[in-house]
Chain A
Amino acid sequence: MSERDGGAARVRVATESEFDDPGREIVTVGDAEVGVFLIDGAYYAVRNQCAHEGGPVCMGEVRNELEADPGEAGSLPTEAFTGAKTVSCPWHGYTYRLETGEHVGVDDVALQTYEVVVEDGVVYVEP
């Protein structure tokens, strides 16, 4: 459902009370499907179309991003999962940061991101 707000159509996702944390909803914004995520109190919204083959990326696994430090010469890298959230396309595993939409390996492969606003207890996606 779209609502007019100052001339721009925004899309109602759910009420805050309906939205589980962690949870996700898929909504249609214009011609695009958008995945809206609520994780640890933060909302994220990215296009549900993988930059690789167009797969339903927002239906994939949500994980914490892995970072690695090379460490001392001759040692194994130090690997750790950070608090940054990612989503992975179930077709081939392309993994993107939910905050920026960028692929975790390269910044020139990215999902379009959308702004999420909460107004009067209702969650919307801005087109």
Chain B
Amino acid sequence: MAEIPTIDLEAHASEPLSYGGELDGYTVVDTDAHFLAPAKDLVEYMDEPWRTRASQVIPDVWREASAREARTSDGRLGRIRRAAYGGLSAILPGTTGDRQQWGKVIREHSAYPDAAQEVSKLPDAMEFLGVDTSIQISHFMLNAAGVGADDGRIPTFFRAYTQYMIEEVLDPDRGIYGFVPLPQDHVDLAVEMLSWVEDHEGLVGGVMLTAGAVPPLGNRKYDPIYELAEDLDVPLALHTSGSGLDSLQGFGSFLETHTLGFMQNNQSQLVSMVFQGVPERYPDLDVVFVESGVAYLPALGARMDEEWLKRTEEAPLLEKRPSEYLREDFYYTSQPLETAAGTAHLEHCFEFVGDRLMYASDYPHWDFDRPTTITNLPFLSRAEKQRILAGNAQEVFGV
């Protein structure tokens, strides 16, 4: 069949919320948006030898072309994308599977995954989503769990990204904030970078990866990070790493690894942190688990309670049931909310963790949520919706 012309989405986007419902006056904080930084600009902030190495592998498409130029000048998106990722994957490996479903998923206000985010388009993306405040998480960071080498590339990239964001992107006056990616395998450097939050209004906290965290995040190795975060009253977001999906060996598709991976990563770190007593050792530490929806939490809490009541001495620091720590001592972001599960099941999940939820979009990724996933829920009051859409995030992140 001949290729049917694709309609220009931007030409139909004059009313940002004309599709999918109105937001009805809610204030919205997006606690997980992703920023694909321009590699050519990051290089300028890198120390040697990675500055030279990165310069050598970044293809020209990253240096010059915007996403739309890349699409129209070549017309074959797949080749451009392989070129774009091919060079950089020498340093930061990508993952199997096509997140855009072979071109079906298209983003109006982001060049992801074809090229870097244009900073000038961030407000357009926020307007499209209907968010007032957006907290950015590094896209490159999500590749870190695929890095097996024990060398300086991760701290180098994370420092360069953060310095670039401070200088060129973060803008609290326009509601644009960001997290510091913490090189958690280099705890001393992670502690140093976490302290940057104190000096820069645009930084709201640190982010650590749940995938590839060896040992898991309840281990005492990470105590210096938790200690400083608690002392400075700086929250930590725990986000999976897309590259970590490839550790699920033998599965047949991205559908399978993505269904399991993000959720399993959060479950693993919750089990580790609760049973190792992190909430008891750092009672004022704010930890936000990101991007696995809500349905896994009641099931995990039930299993943890069942096990702990039989083997209590293996987790002697606990002062209450494990499920109570899940409900009272951590926060969670809502995306991707399992709306397909139906209202009754979701209501049960919200009874479990609804007080600790924060809205997140995950834009521009393939399974992003709009704030209407919260406002459309029939069992929440307006006040409860507002708390999820902004209140909890404003309290924890100070935005």
**Residues in A whose Cβ lies below 8 Å from that of B5:** 20, 22-24
**Residues in A whose Cβ lies below 8 Å from that of B103:** 61
Among the listed stretches A9-17, A48-56, A119-127, which one makes contact with chain B, having 4 or more residues with CB under 8 Å of it?
Answer: A48-56
CB closest chain-A residue, reference B336: A92
**Residues in A whose Cβ lies below 8 Å from that of B368:** 91-92
Q: What total of chain A residues lie within 8 Å of the partner, measured CB to CB?
A: 28
- If A59-B9, A93-B366 touch, whether A22 touches B1 (CB-CB below 8 Å) is yes
**Residues in A whose Cβ lies below 8 Å from that of B106:** 60-61, 90
CB closest chain-B residue, reference A94: B104
| Complex interface residues of chain A between 52 and 98 (CB less than 8 A to chain B) | 52-56, 58-64, 88, 90-93, 95
- If A90-B106, A92-B367 touch, whether A64 touches B1 (CB-CB below 8 Å) is yes
Is A23 in contact with B12, judged by CB distance below 8 angstroms? no
Bound state CA distance, A54 and B101, in angstroms?
Answer: 19
> Taking the nearest CB of chain A, how far is it from the CB of B40, in angstroms?
28
- If A91-B105, A92-B105 touch, whether A40 touches B1 (CB-CB below 8 Å) is yes
CB closest chain-B residue, reference A76: B252
| Complex interface residues of chain B between 189 and 237 (CB less than 8 A to chain A) | none
> Taking the nearest CB of chain A, how far is it from the CB of B282, in angstroms?
37
Within 8 Å of chain B (Cβ to Cβ): is A117?
no
> Taking the nearest CB of chain A, how far is it from the CB of B156, in angstroms?
35
Bound state CA distance, A93 and B99, in angstroms?
Answer: 10
Complex interface bits, B46-88 against A, C-beta within 8 A gives 1, otherwise 0: 0000000000000000000000000000000000000000000
Bound state CA distance, A50 and B105, in angstroms?
Answer: 13
**Residues in B whose Cβ lies below 8 Å from that of A92:** 105, 366-368
Bound state CA distance, A92 and B373, in angstroms?
Answer: 14
Is B105 in contact with A93, judged by CB distance below 8 angstroms? yes
Is B19 in contact with A49, judged by CB distance below 8 angstroms? yes
Is B20 in contact with A59, judged by CB distance below 8 angstroms? no
Is A59 in contact with B7, judged by CB distance below 8 angstroms? yes
CB closest chain-B residue, reference A53: B20
In the complex, the number of residue pairs spanning A and B with C-beta atoms less than 8 Å apart equals: 65
- If A53-B373, A90-B105 touch, whether A24 touches B1 (CB-CB below 8 Å) is no
Is A22 in contact with B366, judged by CB distance below 8 angstroms? no
**Residues in B whose Cβ lies below 8 Å from that of A53:** 19-20, 370, 372-373
Within 8 Å of chain A (Cβ to Cβ): is B341?
no
- If A49-B19, A53-B370, A56-B19 touch, whether A90 touches B9 (CB-CB below 8 Å) is yes
**Residues in A whose Cβ lies below 8 Å from that of B314:** none
Bound state CA distance, A98 and B106, in angstroms?
Answer: 19
> Taking the nearest CB of chain B, how far is it from the CB of A38, in angstroms?
9
| Complex interface residues of chain B between 91 and 126 (CB less than 8 A to chain A) | 101, 103-106
Is A93 in contact with B101, judged by CB distance below 8 angstroms? yes
> Taking the nearest CB of chain A, how far is it from the CB of B92, in angstroms?
25
Bound state CA distance, A61 and B7, in angstroms?
Answer: 9
Bound state CA distance, A20 and B3, in angstroms?
Answer: 11
Bound state CA distance, A49 and B12, in angstroms?
Answer: 13
Bound state CA distance, A96 and B313, in angstroms?
Answer: 54
Nearest 8 A/B pairs, CB to CB: A54-B20, A22-B4, A90-B106, A88-B104, A62-B4, A59-B7, A93-B101, A93-B104
Within 8 Å of chain A (Cβ to Cβ): is B398?
no
**16 CB < 8 A contacts A-B:** A22-B5, A23-B5, A24-B5, A39-B1, A50-B19, A53-B19, A53-B20, A53-B372, A53-B373, A56-B19, A59-B9, A90-B106, A91-B105, A91-B368, A92-B368, A93-B366
Bound state CA distance, A39 and B5, in angstroms?
Answer: 11
Bound state CA distance, A23 and B103, in angstroms?
Answer: 18
**Residues in A whose Cβ lies below 8 Å from that of B2:** 22
Complex interface bits, B9-29 against A, C-beta within 8 A gives 1, otherwise 0: 100100000011100000000
